[in-house]
Amino acid sequence: MAMMIRNRVCAGFPSPAEDLGAQRIDLTQMLIVHAQATYFLRASGHSMEEAGIDDNDILVVDRAVKPRHNHIVVAIVDGDFTVKRLYQRAGRIKLKAANPTYRDIEPKDGQTIEVWGVVTSSIKQFPV
């Protein structure tokens, strides 16, 4: 999907008009590295708000990216999907919420956490 993008726009105080020349960008090229392993999921809930992921955002999830400490991931816990920040240190693993009102997920005895994919982008839509 190619579209026009203008130069940067000031989100603070207005700046004098710049050359408003536009160039084409391709959102698919910009957001997707591994097309065959990339999925779009809609976020539900508020546990990742401090990471910039809000309820109803569209998550770009790449299953080909190897999950590492501090990545935001989609994981399966007890058969349910969740999105959290991956904590992996000293042989310990947990899924950290980005909202202090939500608990982190630490596997209990016999419980498995499967990291399903790495969130590479979040797309917001505003009401118009």
- Catalytic site residues? 47, 84
Beta carbons of 119 and 73 less than 8 angstroms apart:
yes
Residues 72 and 118: their CA atoms lie apart, in Å, by: 6
Rama region for 85: left / alpha / beta (φ>0; ψ in -120 to 50; rest): beta
Pairwise CA distance, residues 115 & 66, whole Å: 10
Reduce the DSSP state of residue 25 to 3 states and report it.
strand
